[in-house]
Structure 1
Amino acid sequence: MKTLKTLLLGTALSATLTFPVMAQDVVAVLSQNEVGATSYNPISATLLSVGAWLLYDRLVSKDEKLQYVPSLAESWEEDADGMAWTFNLKQGVTFHNGTAFNAQVIVDWLPLYQGTENAYLFDAIDHAEAISDNTVRFLMKRPEPNLLYNFSTVYASIPDPATFTALGEDFGVTEVVGTGPFKLESFEIGNETVLVRNDDYAWGPGASTGHAAKIERLTLREIAEASTAFLELKTGGVDLLMNVPTDFVEEVEGAGNLKMLELPGTDLIYMPINVTKAPFDNIKVREGVAFAINQKEIIDSVFGGRGKAADGFLISSLPESKIAEEFRIAYDPVRAAKALEDAGWLMGGDGVREKGGERLKVALWTQSDSLFRRLSVVVQAQLKAVGVEATILSFDSAAIRDQYKTGEQQLAVRTYLWDNADILEWFFGGDRLYYPNISMLNDPKAEELKTAAMTGAKNQVEREANFISYHQYINSLYPYAPIYEPVQLMGYNADRIAVPDSFHASRFNTLGFLELEVKE
């Protein structure tokens, strides 16, 4: 069995080698926000790439209208009081190793989350019972209006519990056993993942029986530098970019062999503010820098006018994003200047504010790839316009997470990919300090509102109301500045592959790759 050290050494060697592309092979480049994943272990990972969607299935999926549709479960029903759910499972499903998928698998799978970062997904479930081979019943500790969403996320992917337990920390690195449309051939951390078709796949997602993938082999490459990734697409080194930087949209559209697919985004770019580090331990300073960010200028200068200006922490398609106007954070240089002055920072002769002989100088952390560097330069200039001198510190995309865990950051530019309001708890919960809560927010009232939002609702209407209150209170503390809500722009070589222009899914993952095909 390969060790982690062997895999890392393999990464260095493979970077110098090239191999001919087989006729039914497809090579895709992962989105920049998926670069750096160290495992395909859905139980404990906090970062998974699109490969995890292809290696595993989940009980339910979401269609393009964000409605829940069958995946490994063909139907489900919630008891009237919300204290139990019954799921009827698809028959004939097998894991990659031939083991049958059944209700007992679900019973054995749930306890694997205990003590992990992802345990919160199933906190509301007391236990699962196998009613029959193909029927499982979840007995609840409390109603959970978000249960179907939790079951649909990539972190609720279902591995074979026996293999998972046997392999321990090696699971998801050296070997993966799921029920998904692809099997793991190799995983070189930081470099590439090679997947091969699961010829037996015939169970979803969606209401139909499904079919095996049309391509035989899929290589998912990690290229942190966006310009390098685009050059690979342009010169034929890869077939598909999961995320085309807006800088290169015109080149894609102008190239005869390249095409682009535009999909609604589910990510958000923002500037976290460390509330524990001076000068940002003063709420007025945080308010000042939050309202200094000119979202429209960033969209026009960095993203070619595509996408939306963010004024909260949630993507605009979520009902919990509909906060009151007074809590929205949007560019207001007058308000920014007043807040900084109220904090005692007065404009100096050279355009940098001063207080007690000290200049208002801060560090702005960012990732080293070109998009984040360009974005950070614009943010740096916008901060300078209100009298804040920011020094940019760049870190490798994979290494920056460990840097956050030091708690030394003041400001940063980063992104998340998620389509549920519980992301607020993930990045601002007091029990997640350092990382992922790099704003280091640990406020008693916020914790009360978080608890009500995460566990206090009996139905979806209550849940939405609770999350709006939580969202509004977080914004009132200014632990971040919203920046940008992107669209997903996928570029591909139309001479090599055919990409479906429509499919019944909220993201280009399982269904998208199932329909992808190589042109003869």
Structure 2
Amino acid sequence: MRYISKTRLFASSMLVSVSVFGLAIAANAQEATFVVSAQNVGTPSYNPINGTQLNDAITLIFDRMVIQDADQTFHGQLATEWESTADGMSWTFKLREGVTFHDGEPFNAETIVWWIPQFAETENAFMTAAIESVEVIDDLTVRFVMANPDPNLLSNMSSGFMSIPSPKAFDALGDDFGVTAAVGSGPFKLESFTVGQETVLSANEDYAWASDLSKNQGAPHIKTLTFREISEDSTAFLELSTGGVDLLYSVPTDFLPRLEGEPSVQVGTMPGTGLFYIPINTTVEPFTDIKVREATAFAINQKEILDNLYGGVGSVANTFLIDSLLAANVDPTLRISYDPDRSKAVLEEAGWVMSSDGVREKDGTKLQVALWTQNGTEFKRVTEVVQAQLKAVGIGADITVFDSATINDQYRKGTDHQLAVRSYSWANADIIDWFFSGQRLGYPNVSMWNDPTAEEMNLAAMSGSHTWEERVANFTTYHEYVLSQYVFAPIYQPVQIYAYDKEAISVPEAIRGTRLQSQTVVDITVN
């Protein structure tokens, strides 16, 4: 209206052109650019069913049956109500009415009948393995008949891997789904995707089914949202401080003083859901020897890394699970904490003798190993400290840095790697299954661990639990056995730190969810 009022003496043709120009400016003003977490750089696809690595845009393209709040409670998204029978052998879900996919196809009970079987024989099959069949009660009601109780069903359904795609598009695109196109029912539509570079989304103007965790129940305020992939933290920081991007999903703690010194930058924190650790390849020498694995685990000075690299922000990791999970409450004697004397003594017991160059030897062979990591400032810095800490007990380590888009393929070879520095972000004990199951050797089971006792415990934890309490007990037992075999070394539990340009966008003070996901993004406005 401002442009029209200033041009009333112009010809009608001029009024039209100026009005169009004004609308273009208004549309441009609703654009924003976010930077994905460094650990998710190189995500190869937006296929939630077949994917093993997804980035922060997945929950914007797709909806899920339920979503989880920061307090771990579950809220309906595509499901509005649910109930389970007392024996856990049946779950009934009421579905949201009026939902359509980006291609105009309806979401209904038949969608669920199609969706669940798609997980069979994929890396994510365990998420639906307990569901024997899906029954249609009516167009908006389904019943899951269970092969066995799964007290973790709601948690699985809140995962980005259980986002629901359009059946029509999924079947039509085949292996290209998630690469050339990704069709969901979420608040944003996929416009373009270049692996390792950027993803461009546009607002789904028909969106009218946000969960009760979102204040905005309609289309997103941001009309064009670009996700950039920047592996170097210093580059991402520079882009934010100079106005090149509007929000960083992840900020290393050592950048906090610099960011807090930027008047236009607002920093926020959330409870952490992840952990840095060192998988140990149990199938290659010298790590077939449990004593060498034990020595490696106790050589890591977690407190030094916390204090010197992270400024004391976050906490040390002594197990494989984040502290907030009940299955992290293991026998204290099994926790892995820095003990260089124990590390050196165990190496001596295993026959590895210190040599003049500070690297141990045994039968003429040096204790020199390969230490892998991926691109990104944080990964490289942690890996360099780990290298020094290993050298302090007599283990030499040669660092190799891989592009994050290719490192998983390298792991799948199985025998080339020995140690690595990795991280995960997952607020559920079933992450132990994901990284240590004998069914997934190479990747994601980078430790190449295939132990019959562990497999029995895994089965009991994943599919033999009838109640939540029983599941916690089974996972605690499984977790304790993993710790006792030294198939990894824990390092650090980060908090989630994000930062944004407060002059460019406004972010809700309370982040609803375990991560910065769709329920909060739809409430972000452009200033």
Establish whether TM, by shorter chain, passes 0.5.
yes
1:499 to 497, 503, 507: 507
Q: Which amino acid aligns with 1:300?
A: D
Q: Name which of 324, 327, 345 aligns with 1:320.
A: 327
Return the offset for 1:357: 2.4
Query: Equivalent of 1:185, from 191, 203, 208?
Result: 191
1:477 is matched by which residue type in structure 2? Q
SS in 2 for 1:346: coil
Q: What letter corresponds to residue 199 of structure 1 in structure 2? A: E
Which residue of 2 is the match for residue 11 of structure 1?
A: none
3-state SS of the aligned residue for 2:295? Answer: helix
Aligned partners of 1:286 and 1:478 also within 8 Å: yes
CA offsets 1:449-468 (integer angstroms, 9 cap, x no match): 11111111110001000000
Secondary structure of the corresponding residue to residue 278 of structure 2: strand
**What is the deviation of 1:503?**
3.3
Give SS of 1:515's match: coil
**Are 2:125 and 1:100 equivalent residues in the alignment?**
no
Give the counterpart of 2:253 among 246, 250, 257.
246
| Cα distance, 1:342 vs structure 2 | 1.1
TM-score relative to the length of structure 2: 0.93
Which residue identity does 2:223 align to in structure 1?
Answer: E
Asked if 2 retains the 8 angstrom alpha-carbon contact of 1:61 and 1:206, the reply is no
| In structure 2, C-alpha distance between the alignment counterparts of 1:403 and 1:87, rounded to whole Å | 41
Q: What residue is the counterpart of 2:3 in the other structure?
A: none
Equivalents in 1 of 2:66, 2:228: separation in Å?
28
Structure 2 residue 56 is matched with structure 1 residue 38: no
Pick from 119, 124, 128: which aligns with 2:130? 124
Q: Distance in 1 between matches of 2:376 and 2:199?
A: 20
Q: Percent identity?
A: 53
| Distance across 1 between alignment mates of 2:281 and 2:385 | 20
Bigger Cα displacement from structure 2, 292-301 vs 206-215: 206-215
Q: Which runs of 5+ in 1 are unaligned?
A: 1-20
CA-to-aligned-CA distance 1:258-291 (integer Å, 9 cap, x gap) = 1101111111110010011111110000000100
Amino acid at match of 1:294: N
CA–CA separation in structure 2 for the residues paired with 1:318 and 1:206: 25
Pairwise CA RMSD of aligned residues? 1.4
Q: Which amino acid aligns with 1:169?
A: D
More displaced, 344-353 or 172-181? Answer: 344-353
User: Displacement of 1:204 after TM fit?
Assistant: 2.0
Question: Are positions 1:410 and 2:418 aligned together?
Answer: yes
Distance in 2 (alpha carbons) for counterparts of 1:175 and 1:436: 26
Residue in structure 2 matching 1:295, options 294, 302, 317: 302
Work out whether residues 183 and 195 of structure 1, in 8 Å CA contact, stay in contact via their aligned partners in 2: yes
| C-alpha separation in 2, matches of 1:93 and 1:397 | 36
Residue 207 of structure 1: CA displacement? Answer: 6.8
SS of structure 1 residue aligned to 2:239: helix
1:205 Cα deviation from its structure 2 partner: 2.1
1:268 and 2:309 correspond: no
Between Structure 1 and Structure 2, how many residues are aligned?
500
Distance 2:183 2:379 in 1: 35
Query: By how many angstroms is 1:386 displaced?
Result: 0.6
**Counterpart Cα distance in 2 of 1:484 and 1:361:** 24
Distance 2:173 2:358 in 1: 59
In the alignment, what sits opposite 1:75?
A: 81
Greater mean alpha carbon deviation, residues 196-205 or residues 135-144 = 196-205
Q: 1:81 touches 1:143 (CA, 8 Å); kept in 2?
A: yes
Runs of 4+ aligned residues of structure 1 deviating over 4 Å after TM superposition are none
Q: Distance in 2 between matches of 1:302 and 1:395?
A: 21
Partners of 1:285 and 1:382 in 2: how far apart?
15
| Superposed displacement of residue 36, structure 1 | 0.9
Instruction: Name 1:368's counterpart in structure 2.
Output: 375
Secondary structure (helix, strand or coil) at the match of 1:442 reads coil
Query: For residues 365-444 of structure 1, what are the structure 2 equivalents within 5 Å?
Result: 365-407=372-414, 408-444=416-452
Q: Which residue of 2 aligns with 1:452?
A: 460
- Paired with 2:179 and 2:410, the residues of 1 have a C-alpha distance of 23
State the partner residue of 2:56: 50
Residues 381-432 of structure 1: CA deviation (Å, up to 9, x unaligned): 1001111111111111111111111121111001111111111111111111
TM-aligned CA distance change 1:67 to 1:194, over 3 Å: same
Residue 183 of structure 1: SS of its match in structure 2?
strand
Aligned counterparts of 1:400 and 1:240: Cα–Cα separation in 2: 27
Aligned to 1:139: 145
Query: How far does residue 49 in structure 1 lie from its aligned partner after superposition?
Result: 0.8
Larger Rg: 2
- State the TM-score, normalized to the length of structure 1: 0.94
The equivalent position to 1:486 in structure 2, one of 494, 498, 506, is 494
How far did residue 448 of structure 1 move? 0.7
Whether the aligned pair in 1 keeps the contact of 2:44 and 2:405 (CA below 8 Å) is no
Which aligned pairs between 1:189-208 and structure 2 lie closer than 5 A?
A: 189-206=195-212
CA distance in 1, matches of 2:294, 2:324: 26
